[in-house]
Structure 1
């Protein structure tokens, strides 16, 4: 099996034509609530995020499109962030179009990304931060094998008040134990 392809999703580079989906995700009320309300942005902001100059980076911080294997329609994005090769740690995030949530696409896309970062890039740990009211993301992390490591108190403002941030992590060994397939 190709390293970027699962059963129902495939990860690929963002293309300039993907910008409308990025905009739709950013303007979705439920998604925007997770990261804080931001003012509406012009199309050029999203077009710039899909330009080759922005996406063709050579480091371990990147964003990939999640596409359905059956019709190649873009479903969302998966990203790495805060990559520290000297420590062997990185962060990850995922954003799906509202119509595509709850169908297992995020789990499969995240598993593909983690497999790449742990098996090919030799990272040792992935750290993520989730708001406690984002139950879907907490369930996703649980399915993937992340372990809650603590909370950063009152570190996010949203819904009109301060919230804690749940800190979760998964090591390469924990991931491989749960997700390793015979190849």
Structure 2
């Protein structure tokens, strides 16, 4: 009997942590990546949502949103698209799914930080409607894309 492989976007489970960690290592090599324990905490914590994008059962990308009690802002902690699958619209698809989840949780804003040197991510977020809020000097302990500075971006989430 053949089993159908799952494709599309779904919530991450504990079984996905190793695959998420491997993608994280490929997207953010060296000291800039999250440890497996950090990813597990972020992905499976009650105040977060981790979405995975799969094709034929294999995880190609993931996104983690964290929430704070009393806040109306969802924080996109990380979005990782495995390098062989980048520039195919997967990141934008995950972002839209995360924004839907945020709206369902009553969030009014989506916020994120990215390295000022990450031009591809900056373009993705602009395309998705995110606006520059501020530059944060020395935000990162280690260089990301040639810089330790971050750009904070926000997007108002329209209530349906």
Provide the TM-score with structure 1 as the length reference: 0.69
Question: Retained in 2: the 8 A contact 1:9–1:108?
Answer: no
> Pick from 24, 29, 43: which aligns with 1:32?
29
For residues 98-117 of structure 1, the C-alpha deviation after alignment (integer angstroms, 9 at most, x for no partner) is 11111100100110110121
For residues 59-113 of structure 1, the C-alpha deviation after alignment (integer angstroms, 9 at most, x for no partner) is 3313222213xx23211211112x1241201211211111111110010011011
> Pick from 144, 148, 158: which aligns with 2:128?
144
Larger Rg: 1
Matched residue, 2:91 = 106
Matched residue, 1:67 = 54
Question: Retained in 2: the 8 A contact 1:151–1:167?
Answer: yes
Matched residue, 1:11 = 10
Mapped partners of 2:49, 2:143: distance in 1:
26
Mapped partners of 1:106, 1:168: distance in 2:
16
Matched residue, 2:157 = 172
Post-superposition offset of 1:155: 2.1
Question: Retained in 2: the 8 A contact 1:78–1:94?
Answer: yes
Post-superposition offset of 1:20: 4.1
> Is 1:117 aligned to 2:102, yes or no?
yes
Q: SS of 2:117's equivalent?
A: coil
Mapped partners of 2:42, 2:71: distance in 1:
25
The 1:61/1:89 distance shift into structure 2, 3 A limit, reads same
The 1:165/1:67 distance shift into structure 2, 3 A limit, reads same
Question: Retained in 1: the 8 A contact 2:115–2:147?
Answer: no
In structure 1, stretches of 5+ residues that fail to align are 1-7
> What does residue range 84-103 of structure 1 map to in structure 2 within 5 Å?
84-92=68-76, 93-103=78-88
**Would you say how many aligned residue pairs link Structure 1 and Structure 2?**
151
Q: Compute the RMSD of aligned alpha carbons.
A: 3.0
